[in-house]
Amino acid sequence: MANGMTFDEAKHRVDELVTLLDKYSHQYYVLDQPTIPDEDYDRLYRELVNLEELYPTLIQNNSPTQRVGGTLLEGFEKVQHDSPMLSLDNAFSKEELESFDRRMNQLIDEPFTYHCELKIDGLAVSLKYEDGKLVQAVTRGDGTVGENVTANVRTIKAIPLSLKEPLTLEARGEIYMPKSSFLALNQQREEQGEAVFANPRNAAAGTLRNLDPKVTASRNLSIFLYSLPQLSNRDVHSQNDALNLLDSLGIKTNPERQVLSSIDEVWSFVKEYQEKRNSLPYEIDGIVIKVNELEQQEKAGYTVKAPRWAIAYKFPAEEAKTIIRDIEWTVGRTGVVTPTAIMDPVRLAGTTVQRASLHNVDLMKEKDIRLFDTAIVRKAGDIIPEVVRIDKELRNKDSEPYSYPTHCPACDSELMHLDDEVALRCMNPRCSAQAKEKLTHFVSRNAMNIDGVGVSVVTQLYEKELVKDPVDLYFLTKEQFLTLDKVGDKSADNMLKAIKESKTNSLERLLFGLGIRHVGSKAARLLAEEFLTLEGVSTASLEAIQSIEGIGEKIAESIHAFFELEEVKVLISKLEEAEINLSYTGIRKEEVEQVDSFFTDKTVVITGKLEQFKRNDLKERLEILGAKVTGSVSKNTDYLIAGEEAGSKLTKAQELEIPILSEADVLKELNER
């Protein structure tokens, strides 16, 4: 017996955890409707990991722990598709859609409808399930033969490893990278001096075809399935039926779809989503129109390359021409120097843009970008304006190659172009631009969360030499704050109060705020949970850091090297002198199993002005204790926590006879835990 459980009890609990985690993952990644806090999911996940370590024979192929990615792949096996993954013919105008409609009416010669779907800009794949279990994932390849990417696909949380029914089927769809993930990935790569991806599709393709599944696991890919080519013993008569069946099995499909009866309605759908495309969280490049009824599809038939019964309407490229007037170089907190083109204003994807990312020196040289060039710009993934190419036919005859900076624009130190990086980097640890960026990061919401101390205040504090590093903030006086522009008596008091309150933050916030290269908020929490104190983290061996699940080799090396620096050791002494909390105050690993509080499994709403808590801190504490904190009062709300000047939410809670808790009530329950 281990962990207080018999083997049979452990097996039952593993089965229960796999089922629960699969359900919560589906709600989060497929339905976009999470029902438990992240901390609760992490707690259950760690419990499963512990049980699987104690009883390795209980590890199931469909366990969520098997998504993290295994060893490096030597290459991708070639796999022949059971039936070809055909491409689609394209249309670029309303007239071409009307021509398609006339062909369909001639070929089918009886009533039918159209099924309209968004054309996701990603990478086509085929998923095979046997008896409800994912057994194979293959890229489209040349349509006949693709690459076996099963190991990588298993890491994508939007793809179920098990279906809700034990069916054998093949489903086809598009793997994509959400815009938010693309933006975060490129920002991270720029900070690290690595080449950026041109668009979300390239990022998705590069990620899926990476030979290290752990890379795929780390980049938050997703999927929409749109085809069910092979399925027996099911009552499926249309494309709409097929997608509804996929939904019922727990497979993610795109909800933005409609069955329409005429080509005029199809055109209205096209125009609607051409307008909406910039507001979607993923990139689309058109609309796919299919004959909805499967029997009518068979009547229409196929050509060698494409089905006759479907067509893809491609949106026109959203690009614009403008003149590059200047190139601005900025220094990030890791020292990477990034170029930005300053251009004549131009309308692009519904907004006026005047600045565009040039990413790094290598890309500038590759595109031969010069001042006063005519540039073609677009929004990469409909997010960030970037220069796609230069129209060299319009270049002035006396144009000269751009002279790249050799010294930092902030501190005038010599810039380095390291062999393994595509970016210029300022190596001066005392660089003023880096210092200001580090200070801004330290006070940010996800770090120490010091309200009121924003970019303007940080810049003034640094330029007046009132702070040189983040810990200097804790030694500031009211008189010093009052020397700043636009800072009055009340705002000085508020900032001092916010600084004082941040001293009690849990260790993971401080670790994230220190700006250790490669360490995000999740890695910071993992470190805090493992080592409990800043001393524990700073003195941990490289091997001990690498042993933490979720901390890769590169992150571990960066953490270890950071705490070896003499200036960091001085910084830690200053943190102690400032009486900043250097311990983890969240739930510890050994306590995870024992969490049971007044708030466990309760739905809670917070309203009004709080005196004893910061709203986000209270929300975080309640969620750690198992509460679901929501923003609106309903009949499903268990408690309303009401501060001063509570308004309509308090009135509604009283009408629904929902129990009202004061801050004193909450403190009492928290202290009794």
Contact 127, 175 (CB under 8 A): no
Distance from C-alpha of 209 to C-alpha of 148, rounded to nearest angstrom? 10
Residue 196: DSSP 8-state: P
CA–CA distances in Å: residue 165 to residues 132, 160, 172, 234, 235: 6, 12, 18, 12, 15
Question: How many CB atoms sit inside 10 A of residue 488's CB?
Answer: 11
If you search the block for the tokens 């005029």, which residue do you land on?
264
Is residue 246 a contact partner of residue 188, using CB atoms and an 8 Å limit?
no
Question: Computed from CA positions of residues 63, 69, 72, 74, in that sequence, does the dihedral angle turn out positive or negative?
Answer: positive
Burial of 335 (0-12, 13-18, 19+ CB in 10 A): buried
Structure tokens that stand for 328 in this block: 């601005």
119, 179, 628, 649: which is the annotated catalytic residue? 119
Residue among 67, 45, 68, 48 nearest 58 (CA): 48
DSSP state of 281: S
Q: Quick one: which of 50, 81, 80 has its CA closest to 63?
A: 50
3-class secondary-structure state, position 176? strand
Distance CA 156, CA 69 (A): 10
Instruction: Decide: 607 and 642 in contact? Cβ < 8 Å.
Output: yes
Annotated catalytic residue 478: no
Among 298, 469, 293, 283, CA closest to 378: 283
Instruction: Give the active site residues.
Output: 119
